Amino acid sequence: MAKRGVTIFSSSLNRFLSSTSTLFNSSPHNRIPTTASDVDAPENSGIPVLSHASSIVKPIVSPSLLQPRVVLYDGVCHLCHRGVKWVIRADMDRKIKFCCVQSDTAEPYLKACGLEREDVLRRFLFIEGLNVYSQGSTAALRVLSYLPLPYSALSSLWVVPTPIRDAVYDYVARQRYEWFGKAEDCLVLKERELLDRFIDREEMMNRGPDM
């Protein structure tokens, strides 16, 4: 009798374990994600995925999400800001967009070009597309080439040898704070009507009151 009772209990226990196993394993939506491959994140969504092997959160960044024709520049430089305003006025077709290199929005663009912020503080950066970018005097001429006439005619300064153009650019860049001044924060914060041309617009709008 006791043996028969043990057999019945064992059979019932097996059925219970089988049913609970089916409950938790029959549908992928019921499984607890334990690896990066288990996390249900859309491709190129930008959602951080935690790898248990490294325990480091790495955001998924797709270069295809970066916008073309973006100028990254020193947002606290008065001379640079004047140049940006001039381009905005001349660029009636709104081809060129802007981003202060001091903003977090600039980070993926810097990474895509293999550059640091200090590199852009020395020479501004113009990103025309994936793997197509330039700096300094060459970047200035590339920006001019996108503007309507008569401004685009200035891009004919290509005929000046690059070493000469860059020497002049670098000299002015080194003196720009002394000659034109430096702000405490990005100057576009004081002229927010310009922000619709900035890819870091939302970040700048959340900076708080003007400096």
- Say if CB 105 and CB 207 are below 8 A apart: no
Over range 88-97, report the average pLDDT.
Answer: 94
| pTM greater than the 0.75 cutoff | no
Residue 60 has pLDDT above 80, yes or no: no
CA distance 199 to 66: 10
CA distance 39 to 28: 11
Which residues are CB-contacts of 187 (< 8 A; sequence separation ≥ 6)? 75, 76, 77, 78, 81
Please tell me the predicted confidence (pLDDT) of residue 56: 32
Query: Tell me: the pLDDT tens digits for 165-205?
Result: 999 999 999 999 999 999 988 888 888 889 989 999 888 88
Query: Phi/psi class of residue 31: alpha, beta or left (left: φ > 0; alpha: ψ in -120 to 50)?
Result: beta
Query: Tell me: the pLDDT tens digits for 3-46?
Result: 444 444 445 445 544 443 433 333 333 332 323 333 333 333 33
Please tell me the predicted confidence (pLDDT) of residue 11: 53
Please tell me the predicted confidence (pLDDT) of residue 203: 86
- Say if CB 162 and CB 139 are below 8 A apart: no
Over range 115-143, report the average pLDDT.
Answer: 93
